[in-house]
Structure 1
């Protein structure tokens, strides 16, 4: 399976592309600011056509290019219903801090938007995605999980958006953020995953659940579901 990504725009948000080996269909995750041009170039060079765009949450640095990408290929965007409002009104999710940056820019929902439900699975481009609701960074934050077959066995991957990073966690000082809720989400939803699960975050480099459990300073004292009463 192809699992690749690149950081885009001033926010250096990781945009990911996933496709089954030998398939021309793919899925795009979190096309942020200035992601359209490099994404289209990569898709063209690789002979890939996206079937859908998945969004880990509604913040503009992850959704900036979702409308043009969806329009280009006539595909839907998937986002949790708690964050859907940010597709057309991103300042409600970030507060006034981005107003000067946006200027006269306008944002609209793609023509087709599918609401994500936690605990369900999606089959797109021949890939089965699990959907884990992890509120705290935003109320509609989700983590997408997939299993990849390798010569050494099955490798689990979690696309964690801004819920969990290598050595850090998502900020909670923006509208809809809740630090204690974020820790609960990580404790009850992510830490139960196998230690070998590869973490592909929304910013920065990859990690594993085991590495974050052992060394992430924000997770000290979090051990798993039993910590859900934080």
Structure 2
């Protein structure tokens, strides 16, 4: 499988292009702020044609270029319905001060938005994705699992899990208890060899995070809810 990841925008959110191989169809994940040119450059380099856009959640640093890419290529975007409102109101989940960032900015949604639900399986560009609802960072956060032709497992974790950290839960729509339950039931149950492609920062693995991520320590125990609260994990929103 071809996996091309690159940071975009002010907050350096990771955008990904995934394809079975060069010279065919692909999927774009989280095309955030100022991502159009960067995505198009990768499409030309690897001779790829996008078939759809997957959005791990609705924050602007992950979705801001989705509308332009979808219009340019005539493709749909998938997002959980609990986060779809952010596609046309990017300041809504940032609080009163954050909302001021978008005053006077014209924002439109992709012309073809398709809703995601927990457990959905999407066959896109020859790749099968399993969508898992992962509330905590936002109400509509999603995880996307996929298996490579070589048998390896990938997890597109958005802002749920990072290398050494987890997503913040102090913004509107965030919920610390739901985040802990997501991590306990949908992240720590994965195999250690699963490669994690996060929304910010470097790639990691489930095994590495299970062993060394302080926010995951003790989550298998009854006292998990007493763990650290990620007000600001150090990555993005």
The TM tier, using the shorter chain, reads: over 0.9
The structure that is strand-richer by fraction is 1
Match for residue 184 of structure 2 among 180, 184, 187: 187
Q: CA deviation at 1:92?
A: 1.4
1:125 aligns with 2:125: yes
CA contact (8 A) 1:194 1:209 kept: yes
Residues 41-56 of structure 1 aligned to structure 2 (within 5 Å): 41-56=41-56
Runs of 4+ displaced beyond 4 Å: 226-230
Match for residue 205 of structure 1 among 186, 202, 205: 202
Residues 20-169 of structure 1 aligned to structure 2 (within 5 Å): 20-150=20-150, 154-169=151-166
Aligned length, in residue pairs? 225
| Structure 1 alignment gaps of length 5 or more | none
1:123 alignment partner, SS class: strand
Q: CA deviation at 1:98?
A: 2.6
Supply the distance in 2 between the matched residues of 1:229 and 1:77 (Cα, whole angstroms): 35
TM-score normalised to the size of structure 2? 0.91
CA contact (8 A) 2:9 2:33 kept: yes
CA contact (8 A) 1:6 1:15 kept: yes
2:122 alignment partner, SS class: strand
CA deviation profile, 1:171-197 (whole Å, cap 9, x unmatched): 011101011110110100111000110
| Structure 2 alignment gaps of length 5 or more | 226-237
CA deviation profile, 1:26-69 (whole Å, cap 9, x unmatched): 00000011111111111112211110000000011100101000
Residue of structure 2 equivalent to 1:176: 173
When residues 107 and 156 of structure 1 are mapped into structure 2, their CA distance, relative to the original with a 3 A threshold, is same
1:218 aligns with 2:219: no
Supply the distance in 2 between the matched residues of 1:8 and 1:134 (Cα, whole angstroms): 23
1:91 alignment partner, SS class: coil
Residue of structure 2 equivalent to 1:9: 9
TM-score normalised to the size of structure 1? 0.94
Supply the distance in 1 between the matched residues of 2:153 and 2:34 (Cα, whole angstroms): 29
CA contact (8 A) 2:154 2:194 kept: yes
Taking only aligned residues, the RMSD between alpha carbons, in angstroms, comes to: 1.5
Q: CA deviation at 1:93?
A: 1.4
Q: CA deviation at 1:227?
A: 5.8
CA contact (8 A) 2:135 2:142 kept: yes
When residues 80 and 156 of structure 1 are mapped into structure 2, their CA distance, relative to the original with a 3 A threshold, is same
